[in-house]
């Protein structure tokens, strides 16, 4: 990997870690979810960096992919278990990191299991390490804490164009003997739950990604497609971002246009992922570069 790329990855990693710390300082009972999301995103942009994807604020049994919507009215409550998942990017060098904030103080087991599993996994990362071995340790730590890892979520490779690419790093021993390779950028993300250990798609979709440019009929869909191309490219974006930027369109109009683009095969959708038995979910995530016998961790 080029030195310039390592520097950019480190810069994105530092900004992302600081953004997680900032998130921890503003997520409180009574804080507006919309305000918190906007302030975290502004924090990253003020450092001169872009967003690899919208800030995810998934609460309780929502495991991932929730970001506040247009006109979001929800506030954090004293019962909330909040996963903050975010990533800054320096050009096309992406970071992906997450941490769990337990406002209730009742989910220490889940949070500890996720954090401990992540640190143990990081210590195992090296050139040639089989991904199943990492998964086995994550599951062992879950067992030791009396909780379950989420089996259909896991870590992943990160390339310059794709946040989820090349390799899947399971949160249990899935028998996959694929080996990590020197220079690979990867994110590891154990999810822990007191539910069933699986997530499923919810109804709500707040995050989209433009993946094609097939023709669409309506003027609104064409206008939105052009705006996405010039503003977000192929990186994921939030419906509320469009709400802010395309002020003359109603939420209904924006969602109709996104549905039309999706039907044309131009959009990937990221539904909110909910734990199957509505168990509580904690997550911890960092990005790193595989480096010989160990790795360079990009999130402090």
CA–CA gap between residue 282 and residue 56 (Å, rounded): 13
If we measure between CA atoms, which residue out of 148, 143, 97, 101 comes closest to residue 122?
Answer: 97
Q: Residue 41 is inside which H or E element, if any?
A: helix 33-46
Of the two residues 20 and 221, which places its CB atom closer to Mn ion in the complex?
A: 20
112 or 285: whose CB is closer to Mn ion? 285
Least separation in angstroms between CB 250 and Mn ion: 31
Q: Which is nearer to Mn ion, 221 or 290 (CB)?
A: 290
Q: Which residues bind Mn ion (CB under 5 A)?
A: 85, 96, 98, 187, 189, 285
Radius of gyration of the chain (CA): 19
Residue 158: burial class (beta carbons within 10 Å; 0-12, 13-18, 19+): buried
d(CA 87, CA 293): 26
The answer to whether 270 touches 208, Cβ cutoff 8 Å, is yes
> In the complex, what is the shortest distance from the CB of residue 55 to Mn ion, in angstroms, rounded to a whole number?
10
Q: How far is the CB of 98 from Mn ion (least distance, A)?
A: 5
Q: Which residues are catalytic?
A: 85, 96, 156, 164, 189, 285
Residue 232 or 266 having the CB closest to Mn ion = 232
> For the purposes of burial, counting CB atoms within 10 Å of the CB of 165, is it exposed (0-12), middle (13-18) or buried (19 or more)?
middle
Q: Could you tell me the smallest distance in angstroms from the CB atom of residue 283 to Mn ion?
A: 8
Taking the C-alpha atoms of residue 49 and residue 69, their distance in angstroms, rounded to an integer, is 23
């Amino acid at each position: 990997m080029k030195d310039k790329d390592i520097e950019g990855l480190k810069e994105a990693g530092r900004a992302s870690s600081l953004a997680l710390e900032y998130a921890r300082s503003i997520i409180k009972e009574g804080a507006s979810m919309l305000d918190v999301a906007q302030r975290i995103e502004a924090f990253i942009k003020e450092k001169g960096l872009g967003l690899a994807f919208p800030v995810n604020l998934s609460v309780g049994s929502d495991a991932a992919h929730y970001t506040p919507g247009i006109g979001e009215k929800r506030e954090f409550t004293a019962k909330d278990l909040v996963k903050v998942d975010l990533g800054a990017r320096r050009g096309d060098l992406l970071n992906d990191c997450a941490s769990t904030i337990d406002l209730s103080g009742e989910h220490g087991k889940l949070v500890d299991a996720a954090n401990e599993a992540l640190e143990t996994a990081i210590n195992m990362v090296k050139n040639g390490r089989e991904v199943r071995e990492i998964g086995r340790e994550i599951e062992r730590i879950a067992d030791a804490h009396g909780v379950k890892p989420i089996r259909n979520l896991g870590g992943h490779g990160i390339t310059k164009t794709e946040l989820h690419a090349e390799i899947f790093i399971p949160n249990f021993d899935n028998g996959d003997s694929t080996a990590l390779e020197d220079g690979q950028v990867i994110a590891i993300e154990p999810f822990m739950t007191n539910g069933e250990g699986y997530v499923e798609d919810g109804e709500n979709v707040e995050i989209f990604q433009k993946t094609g440019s097939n023709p669409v009929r309506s003027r609104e869909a064409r206008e939105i497609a052009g705006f996405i191309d010039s503003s977000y490219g192929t990186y994921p974006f939030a419906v509320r971002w469009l709400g802010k930027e395309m002020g003359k369109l109603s939420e209904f109009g924006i969602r109709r246009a996104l549905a039309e683009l999706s039907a044309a095969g131009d959009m990937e959708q990221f539904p909110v992922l909910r734990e199957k038995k509505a168990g509580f979910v904690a997550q911890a995530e960092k990005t790193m570069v595989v480096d010989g016998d160990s790795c360079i961790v990009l999130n402090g």
